[in-house]
Amino acid sequence: MLVLASSSPRRSLLLGQGGYVFETVQASVSEELEEGISPFIGVKLLAERKAKAGLTNWLELGGDKQDVIMGADTMVVLDSCILGKPGSALEAEEMLLRLSGRTHKVLTGVALISGSGKLVADVIETVVNFRLLGVDEIKAYIAGGEPMDKAGSYGIQGEAGKFVTSIEGSLTNVIGLPMEYLSEQLKTWGIEQTNITSREVDDGLSAFEGFAGGAFTP
């Protein structure tokens, strides 16, 4: 059994549309990181924390030790600086102005753990290019409320998709889970997708209504 240690609706949607049957469990952890830690190490550490907390909670609920718990964390990184979730509309505006016309990276750390003690953690990187953004369109986007719960103050699957000119790597990684990586990694844990067609996956991803970017390089 696969168990997602997250309350993120985006991650649940990605797994479901990817053909996985899974349960969810809460995994509240401190997201404080040591000052000066690299984003790559930090996002991996947070994913591991979430997976371990999820395992503890799952076993307390009576879950099987053979079940596989997944923890994940996503960071937006610009010039080696981590852009987290905005604390205010002003902070969201400042972040989007910094991203405007620039290239940044999205890192997603994924950790898989079981009660047997097996732990595997990796970090997947996607490069995202933004076009120049006008102040008025940034303010209008923020007024819609979409950026307030998202790292970097934007969601590529929503209205902010129109800000993106191209990406290099996994689109789903930017949304919250690198599904291409996971489909291969989960097989090594004995977890397979249900019988779905590639067209069904494509149709499912279309639920992420907004990606209007140009070139996509897998």
Q: Which two tokens stand for residue 55?
A: 């395992």
Beta bridge mates, 5? none
Q: What is the distance between the alpha carbons of residues 158 and 83, in angstroms, rounded to a whole number?
A: 18
At what angle are helices 198-205 and 9-17 packed, to 10 degrees?
Answer: 160
What is the C-alpha separation between 174 and 158, in angstroms, rounded?
Answer: 12
Tokens of 33: 């990181």
Neighbours of 28 (CB within 10 A): 11
Known catalytic residue at 136: no
CA dist., res. 175 & res. 165, Å (int):
16
Q: Are 74 and 43 in contact (CB under 8 A)?
A: yes
CA 211, 126, 55, 69 torsion: positive or negative? positive
| Three-class SS state of 35 | coil
Q: Which residues contact 187 (CB under 8 A, 6 or more apart)?
A: none
Active-site residue, from 73, 122, 149, 202: 73
**Distance between CA 24 and CA 41 in Å, rounded?**
25
For the annotated catalytic residues, the residue numbers are: 73
